[in-house]
Amino acid sequence: MLPAVLITGAGRRIGARLARHFGAAGWHVVLHVGHNPDAALALAAELPSAEVVRCDLLDGDAALQLITDLSRRLDDWRMLINCAAVFNPDTAEAIDPVVFAEAMTVNAQTPARMSQVFLAQAQANGGRRVIQFLDQKLRNPNPDFFSYTMAKHALAATVRMLAMAQADPADRVYGLAPGAMMPSFDQRDHEHEISGRMNLLQRLTDPDELADAALFLAEGWLASGETLFIDSGQHLLAQSRDVLYLARES
């Protein structure tokens, strides 16, 4: 039986990169999608061992049922990667209530609840692993995408708290905080070329570096509760706006 990993938002972008890496490393990959499964199904067909599950993360109860169902049938479910997120604009001047409610549910509340049920129910050989996908904005905040950033701060708070709550020392809870590495929102390619280099190393961070970091964390080498920043040093800067707008203004 292969070790299993559930990756939320695995049909595209970073989630798809993670799925490919874990598949190549010999894992059974459970690809979660919210609505349109076509891309995830195509990706699953390319992987050595994979399946696709569907669940709207706005429905927290449905998400918990998904975790319970997988816990009952996966014999060695070692890893949950909460990668899915919504990224919609609002500002420090005025929170958009709709944007706020969706961001807090999808980016914080539901992944935290899924993590709790996974850690309580999943059967795994050698310990269970949770990775919460965060953002370098935790250390390098700006007032853009206000609700998104609030939600990521809330999810970040769960990393150490969940780690402290685990009775089994083999279980690990981690954070993984990326910087700008793929075009975001309505960004054009040439804008991404500029924004992606707005870091200390002035380089484009390859999304595969995130996948390599996730595989490293899967082995549980770090103490539980730690967060890795994969951003070429972007979190060490002070940027007054989201790099999407900094690139556009430049």
Tens of pLDDT, residue by residue over 41-86, are 999 999 999 999 999 999 999 999 999 999 999 999 999 999 999 9
Query: What is the per-residue DSSP string for 137-166?
Result: GGTS--SBSHHHHHHHHHHHHHHHHHHHH-
Reply yes or no on whether the pLDDT at 189 is more than 90.
no
Looking up residue 192, the CATH number of its domain turns out to be 3.40.50.720
Which residue, among 81, 166, 76, has the nearest Cα to 125 in the 3D structure? 76
**For 133-179, what is each residue's pLDDT tens digit?**
999 999 999 999 999 999 999 999 999 999 999 999 999 999 999 99
**For 4-26, what is each residue's pLDDT tens digit?**
999 999 998 999 999 999 999 99
Residues spanned by the domain of 168: 4-249
Q: In DSSP terms, which residues pair with 228 in a beta bridge? A: 176
What is the total count of domains within the chain?
1
Phi, psi angles (nearest 5°) of residue 128: -100, 150
Predicted confidence at residue 127, as pLDDT, reads 94
